[in-house]
Structure 1
Amino acid sequence: LSTTVQSEVIHETLRICCSSTSHHKTGLIFPSFCFKDASVTEKEDVFGLNGQIEHKLAFLRKHVPRDTNLLLIGHSIGCYIILEMLKRDPELKVVKAVMLFPTIERMACSPQGKVMTPVLCRLRYVFYLPIFLLSLLPERLKVSIVRLALRNFYAVDTSIIPATVSLINVDCAASGMYMGSQEMRLVVERDNATVRQHLSKLIFYYGATDHWCPVQYYHDIRKDFPEGDIRLCERGIRHAFVLDAAEEMANMTAEWIFDD
């Protein structure tokens, strides 16, 4: 397959969440992007980190046959979720897991974590009223504000504008900041046991300028797992690649998957 076709496969599979290819059933799951399930929302703390991990496992149990080969792709905290899924359900038939800009250790100690930990853990309530007031603005004005906020990003994908506008919502902001506060407290030590157990299935991709996961973390995991497929970005792609490098990242990911 060409890179373009591979990229289209990746994007199409994201829309349908799981698919069947050839005579092998293969599901492509993105832990960070699936929606709530009514049965899962009944569990306590569904918007917390543990609740989100259990939600992904519940999604697989409900919608994906147990004999399906799974390809997992995670970004940021989604990579931590993948490791937890592998640990909590060892019978998952995961054939490959791609870990993009993985925040799987020492989040609060990272440069961005040092700034955001007090905000998320102690000051997040201060932001609820301003967000509520912003949510009352006309849609066109909210779009203008989002465009203004993203003006310094090169080649911003315009498809993120409506998605970002939809996040100007108190409930959404409160849930996101609450989960973020848990990430700062709970994502501390790298789960080396799980990484070691599934190392042959894992592809790690670290950013060279990632303030959530500094380059030192890349060097540390390379030292601990020299035989692993652990890569450092050489293209200057930012942690939030969805803003301006989504297609480039999708093309690279497709190449890794289809070349493996």
Structure 2
Amino acid sequence: MENTVTDMRDKPHTDFIYCEGAITEVLKFGSCQLHSGHKVLFLIIPGNPGVVGFYTTFMQTLHSIFGYRHPVWAVSHAGHCAPPDSMDMIEDASSTSDRDVFGLDAQIEHKLCYLRKHVPRETSLVLVGHSIGCYIILEMMKRDPELKVLKAVMLFPTIERMAQTPQGKVMTPVLCYLRYVAYLPLFLLSLLPDGIKSFLIRLAFGGIRSLDLTVVQPTVGLLSGDCAANAMYMGSQEMRKVLERDNVTIRKNLDKLIFYYGAADHWCPLQYYHDIKQDFPHGVIKLCENGFRHAFVLDAGREVAKMVAEWIHGDLRT
């Protein structure tokens, strides 16, 4: 099923657009425009930071496994990408001054806006969320029940009680009260040449033996301008707003949902897996047996893509 030979169809295309008034990066494997022949679109909703370049290997693997038949796209979070020289972070500051365009609620509306403008309503969607992207997907399905969702795959889902998790207890004071302290070092980092940023990033990731080198350049971009600050701001809202699990939306869409929990995920403790299994005994709720980290894109994008393909292969047969 998998083609391991490098193919021109493995080359992605990148669009920078304004969506809901904010700069947005869209990474596309396969067709750049959808037409009537495209029955299915894979759409990746990233975690935080919402940098689509982190998912390059994951997306490329999915695209090739299914024989390049289905486009695989990823939409960045608003303001989590460095705009090209011809564009600004905000399209029109006067029109967005009264809106929280980088907040968590706006990020949900941002994804729905993208679908309305760029994806035909008749196109079936395979939504793949990672971390907070899973929360966003549940909110999308709640706010627009007419979305034609074939499957929604929730990878390492942070969909409840984020501030109470081991990582949340550490990061809540940092993100909610101390993030302004981090803005000065972030600004100083942004002034460094990209080559030095790349060296520092490789140094920081030095403990990851099988580091996927495709994540280095997107991380360089994250350290440019206001991207990291926007990601931290969104994170502060996650700690305050991601509270109780939305059981109503899960119950309504249970046949479409696949959950994949980490066995040692500090953003989503093992107890959360047991809790949701108890509440939804008939749901497809899996526990990682491979030791993958929450940030799986750092070293296991290919392996996780293969698993996702196995889970949904039967649903794509026509």
1:54 paired residue among 109, 127, 132: 109
2:44 paired residue among 12, 22, 30: 30
Partner residue in 2 for 1:200: 255
Map 1:1-260 → 2, pairs under 5 A: 2-4=1-3, 15-16=28-29, 25-32=39-46, 33=52, 34-35=75-76, 36=78, 44-260=99-315
Q: CA deviation at 1:259?
A: 3.3
Q: CA deviation at 1:102?
A: 0.2
Q: How many residues align?
A: 257
| Aligned-partner Cα distance in 1 for 2:10–2:268 | 25
CA contact (8 A) 2:108 2:140 kept: yes
| Aligned-partner Cα distance in 2 for 1:27–1:161 | 27
CA contact (8 A) 2:34 2:119 kept: no
Letter in 2 for 1:145: L
TM-score normalised per structure 1: 0.91
Task: Name the % identity.
Answer: 61
Q: CA RMSD in A?
A: 2.5
Q: 1 or 2, which has the higher helix percentage?
A: 1
- Structure 2 alignment gaps of length 5 or more: 14-26, 47-51, 53-74, 80-89
Moved over 2 A (4+): 8-14, 16-24, 35-43
| Aligned-partner Cα distance in 1 for 2:197–2:234 | 25
Q: CA deviation at 1:138?
A: 2.0
| Aligned-partner Cα distance in 2 for 1:29–1:158 | 23
Q: CA deviation at 1:45?
A: 1.1
CA contact (8 A) 1:17 1:29 kept: no
| Aligned-partner Cα distance in 2 for 1:152–1:203 | 31
Secondary structure in structure 2 of the residue aligned to 1:112: helix
| Aligned-partner Cα distance in 2 for 1:111–1:212 | 7
CA contact (8 A) 1:40 1:58 kept: no
1:82-133 Cα offsets, whole Å, 9 max, x none, are 0000000011111100000000000000000000000000000001111111
| Aligned-partner Cα distance in 2 for 1:228–1:181 | 31
